[in-house]
Structure 1
Amino acid sequence: MSKSLLQHISTPKELRKLSKEQLPKLAKELREFIINIVATKEGHLGASLGVVELTIALHYVFDTPNDLLVWDVGHQAYGHKILTGRKDVFETNRQFGGISGFPKRSESEYDAFGVGHSSTSISATLGMAIASRLNGDVNKQHIAVIGDASIASGMAFEALNHVGVSKANILIILNDNAMGIDPSVGALKNYLTNIKHNKRVRKHNIIKAFNIDYSGPIDGHDLPALLFELERLKTVKGPKFLHIITTKGKGLKKAEEDQVKYHAPGKFNAKTGELIAKSNLDQQPPKYQDVFGYTLVELAKKNKKIVGITPAMPTGSSLKFMLEEIPERAFDVGIAEQHAVTLAAGMATQGLIPFCNIYSTFLQRAYDQVIHDVALQKLPVIFCLDRAGLVGEDGATHQGVFDLAYLRCIPNLIIFAPRNEKELRNIMYTAQLGLERPIAIRYPRGIGTTQNWKQPFSPIEIGKGETIKEGSKIAVLSIGTIGNRVVEAYSDIENLDEIAHFNMRFLKPLDEDLLHKIFKKYNTIITVEDGTIIGGFGSAILEFSQKHGYMNKKIKNLGIPDKFIEHGKTNLLFNSIGLSIDNLKKTLSLRT
């Protein structure tokens, strides 16, 4: 039995001691290592399997970390982490207290730039290349690895526009596998497909039009070809672009056959690739994303003016249901959040009813469009913000904890957070009845609380909260699904009759009639939210208190503290910031 190569490699310096003939064996071992760990610990799989050869070739040819290597998004960086000193701790990937699932500057000197959202790599790498030139370091190499889905983003094209006139020593590697999380879409995807198969198209190459030295496409799994081309490009000065063709999920048959499901498959059999079914799945309530997806189809079948929009997340948002049943009114626009929002605005001017579904943290990338193109013009776009609140293992780049705060300051915008699936369903129904201004509906990742959620529609009065429980001493005000944690916290508490609970539902407009009743009756008020404590729901209640002269009231705000929340199981994260069920119970007990 031949000796393991990977066993003796902890850094790229050790990798570079291998002969080129040994590298294919190392690639096989690295692929198996990733598969075996992710099979039991979970995480992103397909993207990293697809760049195993590229990862080895990059660290073999270039002098990392002195040469700077930036991975776009980071789903593809597992092999990079394993080869750069994190092999022995890789089993802690994405776990609480363990290493991040994405490149992170504070984690390793080999992680030149922190990433989680897409399409940042070219801009960041160009910035590094310009800095090196200004610092007089003319020999340093700067490499950005970006996928074909990410390069279609506006930010990537803004960067390419600058790269072409920069004369910077930068190498852009396009990892072309025709996939993001879902299949790539759009004209650029079709163009790249034509380049692969039509030599005449290559002569009129769009990258060359940017004044960037283009080479390829080459087989990204052919190590000798990769090494040869990278070594050649290493000697070429100025902006360079290498187009490589890879297969997402390479080396695991099931992952190659179902690239969407095996992007992040959960637990699976490392040898066969078969997914390990989660127990009692049929008995669980549905995911919030599925409640959105099925409800949208139901509404769209009755209301012909409804359209659905998502930037590259049809599966993750469950807009896929509408894409399957009513494809002419459902639009996956690719990784283009800004475009998605303004596209929705344009549709709204012509009487359509756009449901624009974007993850909470991804809407951050289209903030100006929400203000300038939608709210300023009072266009009734319906924003459905998935993955709001803590999302778990994806960590700081994906925790949807800022939306309440960053949206609350925008005029003309209604903000609603359902406590359960029924409220999500009913606010979607209400929104399409004919609002005269935009609304943002934010809901969490994962399963809900109600199995029998598909009830007849009932409109929700805009700006009105609800009383969940009356009490004599303490008023707890919650917004969104964290209210269910509050209910669980006080369900068996002593002096239960002292605690009142109000589901405020709307952050904007606040239910001021209900708030006046609360402030007149209760001296102690506790606000609970799964958003940042600065500028969010609790801040709105404090402002109400100050505005209306309730200065003698005792108000305590519970929420996400003023720091970035790292990765880990959601319950562990809630516990780490004092929002576990037990912590809420202690807080309520102390107040009694």
Structure 2
Amino acid sequence: MGILNRIKQPQDLKTLNAQELKLLAREIREEMIDVVSKNGGHLAPNLGVVELTIALHRVFDTSADKIVWDVGHQTYVHKLLTGRQKEFKTLRLHQGLSGFPKRAESIHDCFETGHSSTSISAAVGFAKARDLRGENNYCIAVIGDGAMTGGMAFEALNHAGHSKTNLIVVLNDNEMAISANVGAMSSYLTRLRTDPRYARSKEEIEAILNRIPRIGKRMARAAEKAKDGLKYLLVQGLLFEELGFTYLGPIDGHDELLIEQTLELAKQRKGPVLVHVITKKGKGYLPAEENPDIFHGVGPFDKETGKVKKKSSIPTFTQVFGETLCRLGEENSNIVAITAAMASGTGLKGFGERFPERFFDVGIAEQHAVTFASALAFGGMKPVVAIYSTFYQRAYDQVLHDVCLSNSNVVLAIDRAGVVGDDGPTHHGIFDISFLRVIPNLTFMAPKDENELQHMLYTALCLEGPVALRYPRSVGQGVELDKELKELPLGKAEVLREGKDVTLIGVGPMVYTCLEAAQVLASRGVEASVINLRFINPLDKETILRFAHLTKRIVTIEDHMLDGGMGSAVLETLANAGMTDVAVERLGYDNYVEQGPIPVLQQENGLSVEGILGAVERLNVLQRLEGRNHG
């Protein structure tokens, strides 16, 4: 029986000795590699926090203490240690364990996360609630160095330092390696920094170094010349101390006992404390150590070789976007590309390699990315900002105020629009139509396939003013790509099929679902019109009203929320035209959508041929047809 099988709840960890803890860490890594190789998931981040997570659960009691995991994609170890070992094989599967913290799953998940840079704010909230209630539990935020680039993290650090409430922030830094010597030195420095005989002053660094036996004076003299390790460690600590934190570290994030000792020190301190741990992304699995970017979020793979299982030969929308932008970048030196720590995920890696001086990865800073783009545009450039739909939610004010109000020539590429599959509700891009279509000056497009995507990107770069372009995560339709790019007529829908009985209006790849449904309806004697809306704004009201008048029955379908979506825009158009005699059925989502394969999620929510046929039946189209024929 393995060590992991003995861990039913976190308190079971406290019975293990040092050797058993090492075995446990190895077993956890093996279990995660096995499950993620089948299900896909965020492997590298979780392999890097095994010892850290074990130490956190040995030092704290998460039935009372609050551990907030930033982003939350690194909580697989946490789930294995908090009573979810039997269900772990269902990780990220439909109706299985979430890949992120989920309050409904466990009392040990105190806060649901999925977007970055939020953990310190949440931990401060928990700490203040504790203080107001007169309780004495611990509140801990675990945040990565990447998430620290988000402005919200610094806002929270500033508030926490000012409030002086008891709080522990664990900074998981996996951007630099750590050697045994650095680890030992850091441990010694940590003990010295907690010595109350030392005042926090400008002379603190020199005083600490001079107390190190034998080598301290030489180190003090060398400190000003140091360009790496020691200087980085000390200056980094001073930054947090200026914000009001006691800084402990950095320490080796794979030395479980050292982490425990440091966390125990943090518990003894009053006020906010920052514990800096250095970890290696992908630790313990060579393919993930060598390719942490690939294994950050990976699909199913062969665990023996680390090779990702072959995907479809049809390119994804993201790939076509990236390749088209590179092609256009060759022709126009004013085109620049911007992303927020998602170069590979948004298809911009190739652009960055070909045009490094025109590529900007601003880190996890979506707000900055959009405002930065607006100023680039006013400076004569043609910026394209590629961000996932779910993360554009974080930059709404910047889109509305800094781009659209001033009519800036910025292209907003909205990747991962619609449901995205196994990452679940925090990552589905099903709100962007509703919050963007209402903004004046913004042209808003959605392609039905990969060929139309390349023409829309070309069109977006030809237009004046801000343009948004939404497209899904999935592979394309497998259509042939035109050699010549063309500018699409602004605000004009594409009529793909004309029929007098019912009108099917789709946006994005849902247009193909409309075409399939029209074929089935034709076999039943129903003549359906099919409209590829193309432009969400400006809306082709003329075409909508013409077919509304012709058929009197409309079905809209979108990979998006119903409220405020494309179907709502069609209803508004009909209402404003006084066409109260037109019946409309809208297909879309009416709530948060859980994780699962994209086709399954769409089918469950009626975004399918069957869903359209059901909507047509509810419109009594067949009955009208029968009545007309009898008449």
Q: TM-score range by the shorter chain?
A: over 0.9
CA distance in 1, matches of 2:160, 2:506: 48
Q: 1:168 aligns with which of 155, 158, 165?
A: 165
CA distance in 2, matches of 1:388, 1:516: 27
CA distance in 2, matches of 1:548, 1:319: 43
Q: Relative to structure 1, is the Cα distance of residues 285 and 7 closer, same or farther in structure 2, using a 3 angstrom cutoff?
A: same
Q: Relative to structure 1, is the Cα distance of residues 490 and 172 closer, same or farther in structure 2, using a 3 angstrom cutoff?
A: same
Alignment of 1:320 with 2:353, yes or no, is no
Structural mapping, 1:509-520, within 5 Å: 509-520=538-549
Q: 1:298 aligns with which of 327, 332, 345?
A: 327
The one-letter code matched in structure 1 to 2:388 is Y
Query: Is the 2:335–2:383 contact (alpha carbons within 8 Å) kept by the matching residues of 1?
Result: yes
Q: 1:350 aligns with which of 366, 379, 389?
A: 379
Aligned residue in 2 for 1:189 = none
CA distance in 2, matches of 1:158, 1:255: 33
Query: Is the 2:518–2:530 contact (alpha carbons within 8 Å) kept by the matching residues of 1?
Result: no
Aligned residue in 1 for 2:143 = 146
**1:228 Cα offset (Å):** 1.1
Identical pairs, percent: 44
Q: Which consecutive residues of structure 1, in runs of 5 or more, have no partner in the other structure? A: 180-192
Aligned residue in 2 for 1:205 = 238
Alignment of 1:447 with 2:475, yes or no, is yes
**1:229 Cα offset (Å):** 0.8
Query: Is the 1:287–1:447 contact (alpha carbons within 8 Å) kept by the matching residues of 2?
Result: yes
**1:22 Cα offset (Å):** 2.1
**1:18 Cα offset (Å):** 2.0
**1:268 Cα offset (Å):** 2.3
Query: Deviations 1:259-284 (Å, cap 9, x if unpaired)?
Result: 111112222233x34224326x3xx3
CA distance in 1, matches of 2:32, 2:464: 51
Q: Relative to structure 1, is the Cα distance of residues 467 and 130 closer, same or farther in structure 2, using a 3 angstrom cutoff?
A: same
Aligned residue in 2 for 1:190 = none
Q: Relative to structure 1, is the Cα distance of residues 573 and 353 closer, same or farther in structure 2, using a 3 angstrom cutoff?
A: same
Query: Deviations 1:333-372 (Å, cap 9, x if unpaired)?
Result: 0000000000001011122111011110100000000111
Aligned residue in 2 for 1:182 = none
CA distance in 2, matches of 1:309, 1:159: 26
Alignment of 1:475 with 2:510, yes or no, is no
Q: 1:503 aligns with which of 523, 532, 539?
A: 532
Q: Which moved more, 1:396-405 or 1:16-25?
A: 16-25
Q: Which moved more, 1:120-129 or 1:508-517?
A: 508-517
Query: Is the 1:177–1:245 contact (alpha carbons within 8 Å) kept by the matching residues of 2?
Result: yes
Alignment of 1:80 with 2:69, yes or no, is no
Query: Is the 1:253–1:273 contact (alpha carbons within 8 Å) kept by the matching residues of 2?
Result: no
CA distance in 2, matches of 1:564, 1:200: 43
CA distance in 1, matches of 2:458, 2:18: 61
CA distance in 1, matches of 2:467, 2:236: 48
Structural mapping, 1:251-262, within 5 Å: 251-262=284-295
Query: Deviations 1:541-563 (Å, cap 9, x if unpaired)?
Result: 101101011101111111111x1
Query: Is the 2:513–2:609 contact (alpha carbons within 8 Å) kept by the matching residues of 1?
Result: yes
**1:201 Cα offset (Å):** 4.1
Q: Relative to structure 1, is the Cα distance of residues 199 and 289 closer, same or farther in structure 2, using a 3 angstrom cutoff?
A: closer
Query: Is the 1:46–1:255 contact (alpha carbons within 8 Å) kept by the matching residues of 2?
Result: yes
Q: Relative to structure 1, is the Cα distance of residues 204 and 556 closer, same or farther in structure 2, using a 3 angstrom cutoff?
A: closer
Q: Relative to structure 1, is the Cα distance of residues 496 and 14 closer, same or farther in structure 2, using a 3 angstrom cutoff?
A: farther
Aligned residue in 2 for 1:263 = 296
CA distance in 2, matches of 1:9, 1:384: 46
Q: Which consecutive residues of structure 2, in runs of 5 or more, have no partner in the other structure? A: 177-225, 623-631
**Higher Rg:** 2
Q: 2:610 aligns with which of 572, 579, 582?
A: 582
Aligned residue in 1 for 2:414 = 385
Query: Is the 1:286–1:451 contact (alpha carbons within 8 Å) kept by the matching residues of 2?
Result: no
Q: 1:456 aligns with which of 478, 484, 501?
A: 484
Query: Deviations 1:218-273 (Å, cap 9, x if unpaired)?
Result: 11001121111111212112100011110111010111001111112222233x34
Alignment of 1:398 with 2:414, yes or no, is no
Q: Relative to structure 1, is the Cα distance of residues 215 and 196 closer, same or farther in structure 2, using a 3 angstrom cutoff?
A: farther
Q: 1:178 aligns with which of 172, 175, 180?
A: 175
Number of residue pairs matched? Answer: 570
* 2:36 aligned counterpart, secondary structure: helix
**1:105 Cα offset (Å):** 1.3
Query: Is the 1:266–1:275 contact (alpha carbons within 8 Å) kept by the matching residues of 2?
Result: no
CA distance in 1, matches of 2:236, 2:156: 23
Query: Is the 2:233–2:250 contact (alpha carbons within 8 Å) kept by the matching residues of 1?
Result: no
Aligned residue in 1 for 2:195 = none
Aligned residue in 2 for 1:330 = 359
The one-letter code matched in structure 2 to 1:371 is L
Alignment of 1:369 with 2:398, yes or no, is yes
Alignment of 1:489 with 2:487, yes or no, is no
CA distance in 1, matches of 2:460, 2:42: 35
Structural mapping, 1:28-67, within 5 Å: 28-67=26-65
**1:589 Cα offset (Å):** 5.6
Aligned residue in 1 for 2:306 = 274
**1:205 Cα offset (Å):** 2.1
Structural mapping, 1:4-153, within 5 Å: 4-137=2-135, 139-153=136-150
TM-score norm. by structure 1 comes to 0.93
CA distance in 2, matches of 1:249, 1:231: 27
**1:587 Cα offset (Å):** 3.3
Query: Is the 1:101–1:394 contact (alpha carbons within 8 Å) kept by the matching residues of 2?
Result: yes
Aligned residue in 2 for 1:245 = 278
CA distance in 1, matches of 2:58, 2:544: 64
Q: Which moved more, 1:446-455 or 1:167-176?
A: 446-455
Aligned residue in 2 for 1:229 = 262
The one-letter code matched in structure 1 to 2:476 is G
Aligned residue in 1 for 2:155 = 158
* 1:314 aligned counterpart, secondary structure: coil
Query: Is the 1:195–1:202 contact (alpha carbons within 8 Å) kept by the matching residues of 2?
Result: no
